[in-house]
Structure 1
Amino acid sequence: MSALSVKEMGAAFRLLVQEVELAGMTPLGYLARMAKAYPEPGTGLETDVKSVLAAAPDATNERGFLVRGDFIISVRAESASDKPEEPFLKLRYTVLGQYVVGEGFTHALEDALLKQFAETNAMVHFWPYLRSFVSGACGELNIPPIMLPLLKPPKILPASQPADE
């Protein structure tokens, strides 16, 4: 359980976002599997991305923390029927982001704070790497490129604005 109140947590999160720096991004593993042939040219594609992001303090750096991202991307041909097509392409990508916080961050790197960061801001950092992986995997599989859409950053409310507005 967090030692910070809700108000303190909000202030700590805003300060973390200001003071954090992405120090490195390390791929941990990837897999690309074609389940069946690429659809005919002109066929629309549906892409589904499932993600799990988890954060923890960095045991080697007291001013750092790690965020692990696990992504599963399924691509299928669009279907006119109610029953969706089976994916013809499945990709899995696992990556580790290493973060450090500046001297201006004076709070403890609590689990609840890191979880909030992983579920919001870290995705903004991870998404370009994921898009690049998908594009590169298509090249290695010798299929037309599949581009994931751009990610809209999450809205972060100012300290003076209540969260329910």
Structure 2
Amino acid sequence: MIDIDLEGIEPIQRVIGKAPNEVRKVASRAINRAITSARTEAARGVRGTYRIKHGDVLKTIKIVKSSPGTLHADLTSRDSPIQLIKFSVSKNKRGLRAGVKKGASKPIKSGFIINDARGGTNAFVRLTPNRVPTKGLYGPSVPQMIGNEQIIDKVTDRTSEMLMKRMEHEASRVLGG
């Protein structure tokens, strides 16, 4: 979860020299643009590291935008582990080969793929030499992927950069220049 709080807007208020309401509007717009940028950067970071579709990442992310009254925005990702078949899985003679992260794939001995009656598909592995029991295979959830340190650092840097850039832009817009 990524939070953006804006405290200490008095210097901006002095520069604009207008009513506090205008300053709060400027800050709220800047925060909203920064949190939207954080969502995009999180999805890009996950796509750069993991083999997952952009849309699968975006559908798990929820944004609560800022308003002039709150000056606070939240970015939250909620999801359960993703079926391994959503990543890169291929069949070979010995079973399956699966890759969750880009540039790395591992063999899954005695793995197989099933198309079930409901139209779903997933990779499974046998737990014993017999036909049953079997176990479905899953990769990490999107929140776990976003929680990767490198991705968090990228998102944080991009968000703070965008917040400062948008604060300047919105302030100059209010000033009429």
Instruction: Note whether the superposition's TM-score is higher than 0.5.
Output: no
TM-score, with length taken from structure 1: 0.30
TM-score, with length taken from structure 2: 0.29
Of Structure 1 and Structure 2, the greater strand share is in: 1
Q: Which of these two proteins has the greater Rg computed from alpha carbons?
A: 2
Of Structure 1 and Structure 2, the greater helix share is in: 2
